[in-house]
Amino acid sequence: MADKAGRTPEPGVPTWDGIARDHLRFMYSVAYRLAGNQSDAEDVVQEALLRVKRGLESYTPGSLQGWLARIVTNVFLDETRRRKRRPQTHLPDDPDRVLAGAPGADEVLAMETLPDHLQRTISSLPEEFRTAVVLCDVAGLSYAEIAEQSGVPVGTVRSRIHRGRLQLREVLS
């Protein structure tokens, strides 16, 4: 079946519409766990969706959620590095966001139902620990996949996950 743009996908290659429909919640969860707040998570997912849309041709059939999680994480890390290097204030480019005013009722409901204590805890982790734990526990990636994503040996991933969990345990207790 062709997508909105009239393109017929290759067998085994998902469509962007399908990803936006079926996997956006997953991408948002990973982004929120990494970024720690709704606004930054939206920005990360928005950029990730754009990369997905423009990079579908390079997708090789395999773990779709693993691929999406890697893209979301790359966007998050790119933006984190950018902010570290060059603190700056961005002008909003979406007029809806400038003039939005009070959040809609569904946004209030969504914000109120977020498990804030969990997020505060995981946000307290150093970035490399947080990324490793989120990719393992939220995105479900293997240690080898996380190592490839992070550019570090599997042993480092194993250490980061364990140390991250120990810190989470300490905060939660």
Residue list 110-139, contact with other proteins (CB under 8 A): 110, 113-115, 118, 122, 128, 133-134, 136-138
Q: Does 95 bind other proteins (CB under 8 A)?
A: no
Interface characters, 134-173, with other proteins (x: CB under 8 A): x-xxx-x-xx----xxxxx-----xx-xxx-xx-xx--x-
Q: Does 24 bind other proteins (CB under 8 A)?
A: yes
Minimum distance of other proteins from residue 4's CB (angstroms): 9
Q: Does 89 bind other proteins (CB under 8 A)?
A: no
For helices 105-112 and 38-55, angle between their N-to-C axes, nearest 10 degrees: 100
For other proteins, which residue of 51, 63, 64, 65 counts as binding (CB under 8 A)? 51
Q: Does 53 bind other proteins (CB under 8 A)?
A: yes
Q: Does 2 bind other proteins (CB under 8 A)?
A: no
Q: How far is CA 75 from the centre of its chain?
A: 8
Q: Does 10 bind other proteins (CB under 8 A)?
A: no
Q: Does 61 bind other proteins (CB under 8 A)?
A: no
